[in-house]
Chains A and B, each alone.
Chain A
Amino acid sequence: MVKRLVLFSMMLVLPVTMIGCATTSELEKVQAEQKLINAKAEQAMQDAQAAKAAADEAKLQADATSARAETAIQAAEERERIADEKARMAEAAFQKSMRK
């Protein structure tokens, strides 16, 4: 009877122990994975921050370039206006000079 009881107990304890062991290793595995993911997240965050900084910098540069382009366009338009005005004035002077 005792033998039976021992055998029964062993049959009960062994799987429980085994389950317990499995849970621990799994926990360790999960923890390791979490650590890894955290590290990855940290890296991703850093990357994202770096990308945002780069994007911000690029936007600043684009804005500056756009402003410069705007200024250049305005300057070109002004030059064109002045050139047109000069041409118009020259034409008016010419037409006047063609009178008797």
Chain B
Amino acid sequence: MFRPFTPPRMAPWLFPLLLSTFIFALPGCTSLRHSLWRPPLAPDGEIERNRFTVAKGEDVIGQLAEIRLEKGDTLAGIARHFGLGLNAVSAANPEVDIWVPKAGERILLPLNFILPDTPRNGIVVNLATMRLFHFQRDGAVLALSTYPVGIGTEEKPTPMGRMRVARKATRPTWYVPVSIAQAHRKKGDILPAAVPPGPDNPLGDYALYLSKQGYLIHGTNKPASIGLKATNGCMRLYPENIATLFRETPINTPVLIINQPYLLGQRNGILYLEAHTPLEDSGVAELARINAKLRAMEKESGRTLDWQKIRQIQAEARGIPVPILALEAAKGAGAEKPVAIRHPGRLLGSPELPGLKLDAWYVLAAEVQDELDARRLAAIINHQGPPIPAQVLPAGKGHRVLAGPFKDAGEARKAVKRLKIDLELDGIMIEPVRKG
């Protein structure tokens, strides 16, 4: 027999209680959703770092991204993992400590670039942005590979101009230039006339010798120097980048080295401006050049540019393309939202940190009061080339920066020498703990 549904009886006080609980829970759920819900993170492998196709009439490639830092990250480590130079990550995040950033901090990854104002052919190196562009045309398709580079110092700048790849070599021998040998001799370091391939060879595993005598595009044994002015005029790439460039670059490829700190380009009907800190002595002239170009565009288009915004972009020099004008009426000139990237966990090329071993040699690199200073120094030692493992140990009220473990006294002695020559630290060797 059919019986109509009768709800179960409930105590008279229970219904108002349940109702009020439900009502109070509603805003709670909303705020919880607001605080916890974020757009899904893209796996780090999905963001393009090096290889792009350049659409006709477009000058901007790639996408701005952001990542949340984890404990132990350094900007140098993040830069390498995402195929960026240390200069680029540092400029995009000027408030962030390079060596001891806060865990949980969000940083921008400037993985969008305005192409330099040059013919799109062969290799173009923009010294101001410390980036190499390799254009390869395949029929109607213009493919582009781009890599960060380390360039010459102020005293030994990378020469500008047109040249070509004269020859190529794998596992090149480094013939030590007289100036470098002399500089090392002053510090008590006698370099050999030639350094064979291996971890101590600063050329890394691949070299492209340029037609301008004495200048190379090569790898490095100091990957943290990519994005710095640290060479004698050569251009260095990350080991993983030079391997690809070497493979894809035939002899006689034209090479053009330029200095363009201010770049203009368009994508999807929007005009972008990208500003970098100019190289010494080139700032005023480059600024005048780009401003003249902007004024000409303003006159030609009959549109007024926001010069206050332009001056701010130029002054901040964060190396990120910023929209400054919608060239087509329907387009808005709003900033592109950065793509949130999931932290990969382990960063490419990040230094190995072996645990403490009683039977190993160590070098006391420094004793410092402040933990931050100790961690910064340990990170810098870790990013030497070849790497020297280093860690921080609390000691009383201060902290010790300990390099090692080293398997024998010889290795520890070598580390002491390198710490002295490269970082002017007076390391103290620590013997292994003898058993019994």
Q: Are chains A and B native binding partners rather than an unrelated pairing?
A: yes
* Contact assessment for A100 and B180 in the assembled complex, using a CB-CB cutoff below 8 Å: yes
Question: Does B423 sit at the interface, judged by CB under 8 A?
Answer: yes
Instruction: Give chain A residues whose Cβ lies under 8 Å from the Cβ of B202.
Output: 100
Chain B residues lying within 8 Å of A94, measured Cβ to Cβ, are 99, 224, 380, 383, 423
Is the C-beta of B424 less than 8 angstroms from some C-beta in chain A? yes
Contact with B along A25-50 (1 / 0, CB 8 A): 00000000000000000000000000
Shortest beta-carbon distance from B153 to chain A in Å: 7
Q: How far is the CA of A87 from the CA of B153 in the complex (A)?
A: 21
CA distance A100 to B201 in the complex (A): 9
- Decide if B286 is an interface residue (CB 8 Å cutoff): no
* Cβ contact within 8 Å between B377 and A90: yes
Interface segment among B227-235, B303-311, B339-347: the answer is: B227-235
* Docked-complex contact A91 and B98, CB < 8 angstroms: yes
- Is A83 an interface residue, CB under 8 A from the partner? yes
Contact A93 B225 (CB under 8 A): no
Among B97, B98, B372, B384, which residue has its beta carbon within 8 angstroms of that of A97? B384
Find A93's partner among B97, B373, B424 (CB 8 Å cutoff).
B424
- Which bucket holds chain B's interface residue count? 20 to 34
Across the interface, A98 reaches (CB within 8 A) one of B180, B224, B377, namely: B224
Option from A83, A91, A93 in Cβ contact (under 8 Å) with B372: A83
CA distance in complex: A94, B228 (Å): 10
- Distance in Å from the Cβ of B11 to the closest Cβ of chain A? 57
Complex CA–CA separation, A90 to B423 (angstroms):
9
Chain B positions within 8 Å of A96 at CB level = 422
Which residues from B are CB-within-8-Å of A95? Answer: 228-230
A99 at the interface (CB under 8 A from B): yes
A68 at the interface (CB under 8 A from B): no
Contact digits for A62-99, partner B, Cβ 8 Å, 1 yes 0 no: 00000000000000000000010011001101111111
How far is A87 from B224 in the complex, measured between Cα atoms in Å?
Answer: 17
B contact residues around A91 at 8 Å (CB): 98
Q: What are the residues of chain B within 8 A of A100 when measuring CB–CB?
A: 180, 202, 231-232
Smallest CB separation, A83 vs chain B (Å): 7
Min CB gap B181→A, angstroms: 10
Query: Is B385 interfacial (CB-CB < 8 Å)?
Result: yes
Cβ–Cβ < 8 Å partners of A83 in chain B: 370, 372
* Interface: B120 (CB within 8 A): no
Q: Which of A83, A86, A90, A94 has the most CB of B within 10 A?
A: A94
- Asked whether A98 lies within 8 Å of B99 as measured between CB atoms, the reply is no
In the complex, the chain A residue whose C-beta lies closest to that of B231 is: A100
The reply on B106 being an interface residue by CB < 8 A is no
Given A91-B98, A93-B423, A93-B424: A98 and B225 within 8 A (CB)? yes
A46 to B228 Cα, complex, angstroms: 74
The distance in angstroms between the C-alpha atoms of A98 and B269, with both chains bound, is: 42
B97–A87 contact, CB under 8 A?
yes
Asked if B222 CB lies within 8 Å of chain A CBs, one says: yes
Q: B376 at the A/B interface (Cβ < 8 Å)?
A: yes
Report chain A residues within 8 Å CB of B153.
Answer: 99
The answer on a CB contact under 8 Å between A87 and B376 is: yes
> In the assembled complex, which residues on chain B have CB atoms less than 8 Å from the CB atom of A93?
380, 423-424
Residues of B within 8 A of A86 (CB): 370, 373, 376
A90, closest chain B residue (CB): B376
Q: Measured between alpha carbons, how far is A99 from B98 in the docked complex, in Å?
A: 18
Roughly how many angstroms separate A51 CA and B367 CA in the complex, as a whole number? 56
Question: Which chain A residues border B224 with CB–CB below 8 Å?
Answer: 94, 98
**Chain A residues positioned under 8 Å from B150 (CB to CB):** 98
Q: Which residues of B contact A98 (CB under 8 A)?
A: 150, 222, 224-225, 228, 230, 385
Among A83, A93, A97, find the residue whose CB has the most chain B CB atoms closer than 10 A: A97
Interface CB pairs A-B, < 8 A, 29: A83-B370, A83-B372, A86-B370, A87-B98, A87-B376, A90-B373, A90-B376, A90-B377, A93-B380, A93-B423, A93-B424, A94-B99, A94-B383, A95-B229, A95-B230, A97-B384, A97-B422, A97-B423, A98-B222, A98-B225, A98-B228, A98-B385, A99-B225, A99-B230, A99-B231, A99-B232, A100-B202, A100-B231, A100-B232
The 6 closest A-B pairs by CB, nearest first: A98-B225, A97-B422, A98-B230, A94-B380, A100-B202, A99-B230
